[in-house]
Amino acid sequence: KGEREENETDKGLRVSDKGFLNTAVIRSEITYIDGEAGSSYPQRFPKSTPEACCRGYPIEQLALHSSHLETAYLLIYGSLPTKSQFEVFQTEVLHHGVTHSDAAQFCRSFRYDAHPMAILTSAFAYLGSYYAEANPSLQGQTLFSKGDKASLAVMDKQIYRLIGKATTLAAMAYRVRQGRDFVTPPTGLSYTGSFLYQMDHLGEENYTPNPILEKALDVLFLLHADHELNASATTVLQTGSSLVDPYSAIAAGCASLYGPLHGGANEAVIRMLISIGKPENVPAFIEAVKKREKVLSGFGHRVYKTSDPRSFIVRKTADEVFKITGKDELLETAMALHEAAMKDEYFIKRKLAPNVDFCGLIYRAMGFPLDFFPVLFAVPRVVGWLAHWRQMMLQEGGVKIWRPRQIYVGSGKRDYVPINERI
Ligand code: ACO
């Protein structure tokens, strides 16, 4: 579908590739997705092959045996941590969960009905005003370099801060809208446990989150930690390529994630299911999608042309959660929609299958408000954004600014006409 421009330059071939369908912008060692491989989906995709690997480890194995924070280390630094490496990493991340009171004040300044993604995005950018030591435009452009231990330590610190503070800022975005005070990150809990504590703690003595819900959320965090060069990771790299500080780059990624075609899809799925209502309304909805009057949120993916392997883990996790919370009333509608779409020629022909965004049903069952769902995607994805950002900052030959070219199709050269002479 690409378009070759007439005048090739001596710097290579310039092609038009709308939506970057075929453009590889970086060589990466982080996540591998084979979207065309057979998946374990029983009817349409009989082969069973791992399709998403983080640093070579299949996502299914990580979901079963690892934790979100351990996978974070793996994604960022390239190998599974030893026990002591993990302990240091976990301690640093949790320690940096505490934010300055000014940042809390900033989060408090939002309207009661502000979308929590708007709060989170702004709060990440706000943090950029604090840490001048991490700002290459203030400190010198070669601030981060592979061979320089001091600069790597500065980089690590920003990584701990961003992962640690992501949960704190997210919890603030949640509580500010309820008029509740903020909770200082606790000690002695896991990363996900600390997040739930900061969200839900109302001053009870000995409060601890439900361990099954904590584990379920941790698995969902792990599944969302990275997924190759999606729109938000690309945005982080594009923004970071100007050598801006990592807080601004992460804020840009967060903004990109917010849209309903990307991280906002988990919110859109539930809004769609609510609008469909009962299972008997599914056929009419499917017909509206086929006429392009509606979008089937939670279906389709740029890379997966089979089922998203993460969607199976989401289902298993949902079963665990529903045992505690009870089934969501929208589940039947979701199942009917899934079944109808998977056997409909329109979706089969276009290789459209469920992506990971039906996890919104789990968030709903756990009691998170609908507009908070994209935040539950953004918090763990900070890890992937940082892994890509670190890789780019330390790549051989330094960073090259991402400055794509266009194919100009506008007017030819013309003379300016003064305003009084225009008709
Ligand atoms: N419902 C109906 N039709 C769809 C859907 C869908 N969810 N997704 C794709 N299609 C159709 C397109 O209209 C197109 O049809 P055509 O060839 O007749 O024009 C065909 O399938 C191919 O789709 P593209 O739009 O080319 O796929 P693209 O890779 O550009 O987009 C995207 C991928 C954005 C995810 C798309 O599938 C979509 O909009 N899905 C719904 C939103 C969603 O769930 N987003 C979450 C993505 S995963 C994530 O970020 C976690």
Active site residue 95: no
Q: Is the CB of residue 337 less than 8 Å from the CB of residue 282?
A: yes
Q: From residue 260, give the alpha-carbon distance in Å to each of 43, 140, 144, 279.
A: 29, 38, 34, 23
- Average pLDDT of 109-128? 96
Does residue 265 have its Cβ closer than 6 Å to ligand 1? yes
Active-site annotation holder among 218, 308, 357, 371? 357
Best residue among 1, 269, 302 to mutate for probing ligand 1's pocket (most ligand atoms within 8 Å of CB) is 302
Dist CA 2 CA 21 (whole Å): 9
* Closest protein CA for atom 8 of ligand 1: 300
pLDDT in tens, 173-206: 999 999 999 999 999 999 999 999 999 887 787 8
Q: Of all atoms in ligand 1, which is nearest to the CA of residue 230? A: 50
- Ligand 1 near 357 CB (within 6 A): yes
Atom 40 of ligand 1, nearest CA residue: 300
The answer to which of 40-54, 96-110, 133-147, 192-206 has the lowest mean pLDDT is 40-54
So what's the ipTM on this one? 0.94
CA-to-CA distance for 383 and 21, rounded, in angstroms? 24
262 assigned to active site: yes
- Give the residue ranges of DSSP H helices in 96-180: 101-108, 116-127, 136-139, 149-175
Q: Which is the catalytic residue, given 68, 96, 115, 262?
A: 262
CA angle 77, 399, 90 (to 5 degrees): 20
Q: Is the pTM of this model over 0.80?
A: yes
Nearest CA to ligand 1 atom 15: 350
Pairing assessment for the beta strands 15-16 and 31-33 based on DSSP bridges:
unpaired
The closest-lying atom of ligand 1 relative to the alpha carbon of residue 295 is 1
Instruction: Give me the catalytic one of 301, 308, 328, 388.
Output: 301
Q: Which band of pLDDT confidence, cut at 50, 70 and 90, is reported for residue 10? A: low
Could you tell me the distance, in angstroms and rounded to a whole number, from the CA of residue 275 to the centre of ligand 1?
20
Q: What is the pLDDT of residues 152-181, one digit of tens each?
A: 999 999 999 999 999 999 999 999 999 999
In 3D space, the residue among 292, 293, 297, 289 whose CA is nearest the CA of residue 271 turns out to be 297
- Digit-coded pLDDT (tens) for 236-290: 999 999 999 999 999 999 999 999 999 999 999 999 999 999 999 999 999 999 9
Is the Cβ atom of 223 under 6 angstroms away from ligand 1?
Answer: no
- Mean pLDDT, the chain, as a whole number? 90
The yes-or-no answer on residue 301 being catalytic is yes
- Which residue's C-alpha comes closest to atom 24 of ligand 1? 302
Beta bridge partners of 354: 299
